[in-house]
Amino acid sequence: MQAHAKTTRRNQRLLGTLTAYALVAMFGAPIMGTASHATELPGKRPVSDFELSIEYVFELDGRDPEDAEIYFSRYEVAYLVIASELEAPLLVSPRGRAVQRVRPGKLAKRQQIRADLGADAVLEYVGEFRRQRGEMIFTVDGKTAKLKPHPPVLGRQSAADLRDRLPKYAHVATARGRSAKAGLPELPEAGEHLKVRVYFGSWSPLCERLVPDIIAVGEKRTNPRVRFEYYGLPRRIIDDPVAREEGIHAVPTAVVYRDGEEIGRLTGLRLRSPAEGLAQLLAGDLSR
């Protein structure tokens, strides 16, 4: 009986060890040190895929620092928080619930929307965060800090509104605006007025990719009779009465009106090159 019990306990310990190894193999080890030690990035490799994110908003002691920026690395599954009110940038790793401080001088920003951590970056362990209603809450330098889900941008918006509320849209739109392909075609008839209403979701990764291109096209227009406007929708698009009335089922969707009458819609691939899509729609040719 005793021998059987010992064997059972040994098998349970072995199963626990194998399970732990399996979890590490599946999800990877978190980037973290201990409370009393600093640690270098695993393998001393640089992390160069941090990209400006609008998924979360940073709060410090109940305030949202105006200059706060949050970057996300898909490779490391970690958020990088930069704000002048912080002693140093923070690395927040959801897999290990770890919050670490990045020593100054080991971080470089590129093209306004990307950031790199050098291979020699040293991380100092700050603590763990706790989750509450979708927020990541932790303490840094004696202050309560939070990463809060970015509230959706809803209702009618101008390009200036989107630039102000969604900084990634602003940076990408500025870069796209330098492209020669961002220009709008001329209207075929002098008396026509054109309105393009873009339904989008600030929570949508596809809108994050495509809507800045549309903003760039709209801002590069030279014809005053062409007007762009934007309308933000909730995650449950059907909950918005305007979307229901207009038959909007997916984002982004651009509805084009000529002299007040709808002449067509651009969705999906047609919005990857919005100027070209508009030109084809105005010419009555969406077959290509």
pLDDT over threshold 70, residue 43: no
Q: Could you tell me the residue ranges of all domains in the chain?
A: 28-149, 155-282
> What is the Cα–Cα distance from 180 to 92, expressed in whole angstroms?
39
Which whole number is the average pLDDT over 40-53?
Answer: 71
Q: Looking at residue 228, what is its pLDDT?
A: 93
* pLDDT top residue among 227 and 222: 227
CATH of 155-282 among 2.40.128.20, 3.40.30.10, 2.40.420.20, 3.30.300.30:
3.40.30.10
Distances (CA, A) of 125 to 41, 71, 84, 90, 146: 12, 19, 20, 10, 17
What average pLDDT does this structure show over 167-173? 87
Predicted TM-score (pTM) of the model is 0.71
pLDDT of 13 over the 50 cut: no
Sheet holding 78-82, edge to edge: 38-40, 122-128, 98-102, 90-93, 78-82, 69-73, 47-52, 114-117, 107-110
Nearest to 207 by CA among 258, 150, 147: 150
Taking only the tens place, the pLDDT of each residue in 194-214 is 899 999 999 998 999 999 999
- Crossing angle of the two packed helices 205-219 and 167-177, in degrees rounded to 10: 50
First to last CA, the chain: 78
| pLDDT given for residue 45 in this prediction | 65
